[in-house]
Amino acid sequence: MDSRALTELMLASEPIREWANGILQQELARKADREWCLAALGGADRLAWFRKDFPRHEGLFGHYLIASFLGITPVTLSRLRGAERVTAID
């Protein structure tokens, strides 16, 4: 949808304005969660957070994209996943 048209609808209609503001608040909260994750958590914890918040995404996206999203290298992601397999076998 054209952003100008949406803005006009938001100005004209309170329910549409409330709907759009709700979406904006949700997206800002998701962004804040991710920023906190990148700043406060190590690689293994970032991967756990990703799996919890985006349970189906690991199978949908390439690991290089997931690594980039988590702020780690693809090699680090591969090592984290490999360490989990070794732990699961033991």
Q: How confident is the model at residue 3 (pLDDT cuts 50, 70, 90)?
A: confident
Structure letter (DSSP) for residue 72: S
Give the span between the Cα atoms of 44 and 49, in whole angstroms. 9
Give the span between the Cα atoms of 9 and 5, in whole angstroms. 6
State yes or no: pLDDT of 87 exceeds 90: no
Q: How confident is the model at residue 89 (pLDDT cuts 50, 70, 90)?
A: confident
pLDDT in tens, 26-58: 999 989 988 988 899 999 999 999 999 999 999
| Structure tokens that stand for 81 in this block | 């996943």
Give the span between the Cα atoms of 39 and 22, in whole angstroms. 26
**Contact at 8 Å (CB) between 46 and 71?**
yes
Residue 90 has a pLDDT of 63
